Amino acid sequence: MTDATYTYASASAVEQRANALGLTLAHHTELEEVNAVPCFFWGRVVEPYLTAKCLTTVAKTVRSRFALTAQDFAAMRDPIVTAGNEQVRFEGFSSCNGVYARLDILPKGLDGEFLASGTTNVDFNEPMINALNNVKNNENMLLSMGQKEVSISTDNAKVTEKKVTLPQRWIKGLTSVQHYLAEMDLVFEINQLQALQLFQTLPKGTLKNDLFVVQRAAKTMFSPLQSGKSVRVGSAHRLRLMESLLPHVQKVQIYQSEDTEACAWVLTLGQLRLVMAFSAHAYRGFSGEGKALQFLLEEVPMEWVYGLNNTLRANEYFDPTLLAIENDIAFSSADALTANLSSMGMLGYDLVQRQHFFRRLPFKLERILSLNPRLKNAKKLVAANDIQVTDRREGYIQARVKGTGGVFHTVILEGDASRCTCEWFTDHQGKRGLCKHVLAVKMSI
């Protein structure tokens, strides 16, 4: 599977217009009907200075690499933006895919008109980022996604085109990160002063060992030792992406997933909310976690997926219970649909609202559906009858599953736990999703 390469018809720009700065973000998607939308939003940003700083943080994240070598690191990646439901969300991953950043500009942070809703990629180029760094708090700033005006190219006019590569691991990362977010619990909530004091205890340099956010004598700090209520942070030097925003926050909320394999930090800055999620370590990208695979075992009719993709608005909150009631379908089927949409990256998760929100991804559904090789290999094992159940009793199943090269692996399902004798399970102990052999057994029973 190759990465997606596309071209912007023009470049994003920050321009002086009368008494205001104009921030125009060029966009592009694989969906022709969305690509034809000239503009998603046109209006004024209420908090220009903070918005510019947060956008710079998102840009800094997508330019960062914490595990790749310089040879592996390609050009900067452009974020995804979802406009609709009176708000705008910018999302992106670090190049190594281990850090996820999302800026939510809330309804009161915008003063303008939503001309269309949808999800698209936007051009974050060097001149635009340099201009954002110079935005002052007393300036007016106009924001538009796409071009509001019609541009005509002539012999005297030059159109800048920029080719952008969107890596498949970004798309796969979107299918994993919201599963982590949806199961996270709030552990700490601290104010601005406490956040500044916390980061003073963050060791300098690149950190290879885990650190823990702990509280001692009502003081929040980083510690190499876990004690009491805590949040585990792997490769904690990645947290410095947020450091420049700390003097401007009202509060910072720190969340942790149930398995402690990921954490998220939510920064509230007026009418802006920045979400930063971090994988267990710098060398572990969200795209390789495979956390979504177990949710795809129960298939749902694809016409449901296509139907919702055509009817739901971008950023609209997704309520599976209401969906089941309004469409007279079983609650279990609505839950399965939620899991499948999440696993395709079509649902994001709002930690503060504790709800999924819809995003119509700027990629063709065929591309999204092709991104789970472990699941496809498991289906092949089932279709080829390469699974032999050797022991079945209450709460316990043992099976032999054919592996690569004719080797057979033993799979044991005991209650909610599963294990396999394959190399994948030996290496990861179930922490990076189910192996294809366990998936195949679960499908076949």
Query: Residue 157's Cα: distance from chain center in Å?
Result: 38
108, amino acid identity = K
Residue 29 is predicted with a pLDDT of 59
Report residue 263's pLDDT band, with 50, 70 and 90 as the boundaries: very high
Backbone angles phi and psi of 408, in degrees to 5:
-105, 140
Q: Do domains 4-166 and 177-287 have the same CATH topology?
A: yes
pLDDT at 233 over 80: yes
262 against 345, higher pLDDT: 262
pLDDT at 185 over 90: yes
Assigned CATH topology for domain 293-368: Arc Repressor Mutant, subunit A (1.10.10)
Average of per-residue pLDDT across 107-130:
80
Strand 27-28, strand 20-25: pairing: unpaired
Please state, for a pLDDT cut of 90, what percent of the chain lies above it. 28
pTM: 0.75
Residue 250 is predicted with a pLDDT of 97
Asked if residues 243 and 199 have their Cβ atoms less than 8 Å apart, the reply is yes
At residue 348's C-alpha, the angle toward residues 345 and 354, to 5°, is 150
Place of tokens 């298939």: 299
Going from N- to C-terminal start, the domains of the chain cover 4-166, 177-287, 293-368, 373-444
CATH entry 3.10.150 includes domain 177-287:
yes
Asked if residues 28 and 165 have their Cβ atoms less than 8 Å apart, the reply is no
Asked if residues 434 and 417 have their Cβ atoms less than 8 Å apart, the reply is no
CATH class of 373-444: alpha beta
How many CB atoms are closer than 10 A to CB 213? 26
* Region label for 136, one of left (φ > 0), alpha (ψ between -120 and 50) or beta (otherwise): beta
3-state secondary structure of 7: strand
pLDDT at 174 over 60: yes
Token pair for residue 279?
């994988």
CATH entry 3.10.150 includes domain 4-166:
yes
How far is Cα 44 from Cα 116, in angstroms, rounded to an integer? 16
Q: Identify which of 181-190, 358-367, 421-430, 435-444 has the greatest average pLDDT.
A: 181-190
Asked if residues 326 and 308 have their Cβ atoms less than 8 Å apart, the reply is no
3-state secondary structure of 253: strand
Token pair for residue 425?
């399970």
Reference 374, options 287, 300, 295, 437; nearest CA is: 437
